[in-house]
Structure 1
Amino acid sequence: MEINRIIGSHADQLLPHQLLMSWLKGYKRPNDKILGLKAQGILEPLKKGLYIAGPSISETKPDTFLIANHLLGPSYVSVETALSFYGLIPERVYETASMTTKAPRSFKTAVGRFTYTRLPLPYYSFGLNMLQLPSNQYAIVASREKALCDKIVTTSGLILRSVRNAYDYLVDDMRIDESALKELDTNAIQEWLPDAPKRDSLGMVVKMIEQL
């Protein structure tokens, strides 16, 4: 069928309900057709109104960073997910973690678990990069520095009271290499401090890095 071919040719993209409706404009009951495509595994729902190509039509999936940006907006990929992507931490990450200005949320989908943690403005908007994906689409991802700051800011009960505390947490607990820390832009972090949660802890991170 034509619609199956179209969906398969867009397997690396997100498929919002409005797009599907434009493809199905020749059907008298397009919503019923969408339900049928879901039942056949041709469409896979991520949340209400957002789909990807299902397993019976293609094994190709959109990039998880792209999915993360669109499951809940505004949002950007950060903390362990971004730190692992940049190679700053050795652990493999099994969920895609993002920051948002909205209430915390989580989504369990066919392509994995996505979590969202709330951050206040204007701190939320600092240190964001537009990352080009292999599909030539783009996703918003925290910079190395912002992902590290977000990790400290959002870790409950974590307070870095000294340079030694900062070193122990980043090098011993998170296992970030000293050489990688030296490459971080501490000037950028300092610019964020007046509007940042846990500014004293982040200030200790800056001091520690500058002493390496």
Structure 2
Amino acid sequence: METSTLSIYKELEKFGVKFVDYAYLTVLTGVTNPNTLYKIVKRLIDKNILKTLIDGKYQVVNSVPTDFEIANYIYNPSYISLESALSYYGILSQFVYTITSITTKKSNIYEISEKEYKYSQVKSEFFTGYKMVDGFLIATPEKALFDSIYFSLKGLVKIDFKDLDLSTIDIKNLELMILKTTDESMINKFRRITND
């Protein structure tokens, strides 16, 4: 494969690529030398074909990924949850400014184009209950509420649970998730929320 800016641009366009990293460029161009890959990326940025999201992760400029797609891409494994997922499903009525995600990696925060992307760490056994929707991974409504209860008990999420619209929540499914934890504080919080 050629490494010219035009040939790379045509390949990105042809396949509708939204995001690029060094591994993808290696596959696309056959180039494995880190210095050469760096120069290719710099050239693509200078020609306004790529823009930097975070170090080593780039967006194709003429693509239009959603904030949720960007969140999944820049820090993975991760899935959208907490306030962002609750708002997405209409359970939380207020507008959310921070894109909130769950990860098994270290908790982290990134700011990209004046938007904050926040990642909260869970143990691998809690990294479940998500699905692919419109090109991004997002918690099910029940798992988003589970994650919110979990992090509220740790003092890391502030949600007024009385303001949530739980009409779309499968309470039995959520209860099963909560009971599996055998965590008394989770069970008690769940009962308070669902009995209000």
Shift of 1:195: 4.6
Task: Name the CA distance, whole Å, in 1 between partners of 2:160 and 2:184.
Answer: 16
Aligned position for 2:40: 33
RMSD: 2.9
Per-residue deviation at 1:22?
A: 3.6
Counterparts of residues 29-178 of structure 1 (less than 5 Å) = 29-54=36-61, 58=62, 60-110=63-113, 112-125=115-128, 127-131=129-133, 133=134, 138-155=135-152, 156-157=154-155, 169-171=160-162, 175-177=163-165
The answer on whether the counterparts of 1:46 and 1:109 sit within 8 Å (CA) in structure 2 is yes
1:152, 1:202 within 8 Å by CA — same for their partners in 2?
no
Structure 1's 200 and 25: CA in aligned 2 closer, same or farther, altered over 3 A?
closer
2: CA distance between counterparts of 1:201 and 1:83? 18
Gap change, CA 1:105 and 1:120, over 3 Å in 2? same
- Offset of residue 4 of structure 1: 2.8
1:83 counterpart SS class: helix
Stretches of structure 1 that go unaligned for 5 or more consecutive residues are 159-167
Return the letter of the residue paired with 2:132: M
CA distance in 2, matches of 1:208, 1:33: 53
Post-superposition Cα deviations, 1:164-190, rounded to whole Å, max 9, x if no partner, equal xxxx9322xxx223xxx1331122222
Matched to 1:39, the amino acid is: D
Residue 11 of structure 1 contacts residue 52 of structure 1 at CA under 8 Å; is this kept in 2?
no
- TM-score calculated relative to the size of structure 1: 0.72
Q: Name the aligned partner's letter for residue 38 of structure 1.
A: I
CA distance 1:144–1:37, shift in 2 (3 Å): same
Partner of 1:182 in structure 2? 167
Greater displacement, 16-25 / 93-102? 16-25
In the superposition, the TM-score normalised over structure 2's length comes to 0.77
State the one-letter code of the partner of 2:172: N
Question: d(CA) in 1 for partners of 2:10 and 2:114?
Answer: 21
Aligned residue pairs total: 185
- Give, in angstroms, the shift of residue 98 of structure 1: 0.6
Q: Is the 8 A contact 1:13 1:61 kept in 2?
A: yes
CA distance in 2, matches of 1:12, 1:99: 25
Rounded to whole Å, the distance in 1 between the matches of 2:13 and 2:112 is 19
Kept in 1, the 8 Å contact 2:161–2:193? The answer is: no
Identical pairs, percent: 24
| Distance in 1 (alpha carbons) for counterparts of 2:118 and 2:15 | 25
Residue pair 1:193, 1:203 contacting (<8 A) in 2 also: no
User: By how many angstroms is 1:119 displaced?
Assistant: 1.4
- Residue 129 and residue 33 in structure 1: after superposition, are their counterparts in 2 closer, same or farther (change >3 A)? closer
